[in-house]
Amino acid sequence: MQVELILLASITVVVAIAALEAIAAVLPLLIVLTLVPPQERGAVAELLAAVDSSRRLRLWPALRAAVAARRTAAAADRKPARRRCLPAP
């Protein structure tokens, strides 16, 4: 009985770890597919791949880098505000 209980607990732990690994691998893909506009998905996917070269994507650092890159690109695209010159007194 003791051996069966230990075996069942071990199998449960292995299955839980495998499930968490699968969720960690799929979650970034789901976020990109649902939250990123279709015309920007390619660029975000390339950025995520460049930021993290490990087997499994580290979600938060990669998303923070993607957001920072997107904000930088958006700031570069904006035209600088025109300065108004006040008339001389």
Domain annotation covers residue 58: yes
What is the total residue count of the chain?
A: 89
pTM, to two decimals? 0.42
pLDDT at residue number 81: 56
| Nearest alpha-carbon partner for 66 in 38, 88, 45, 35 | 45
pLDDT at residue number 12: 95
Q: In whole angstroms, what separates CA 47 from the centre of its chain?
A: 10
pLDDT at residue number 10: 93
Domain annotation covers residue 64: yes
Domain annotation covers residue 82: no
Q: What parts of the chain have a pLDDT lower than 70? A: 49, 51-60, 62, 79-89
How many domains, the chain? 1
pLDDT at residue number 56: 55
* CA–CA distances in Å: residue 24 to residues 19, 28, 54: 9, 7, 13
- Report yes or no: 82 and 73 within 8 Å, Cβ to Cβ: no
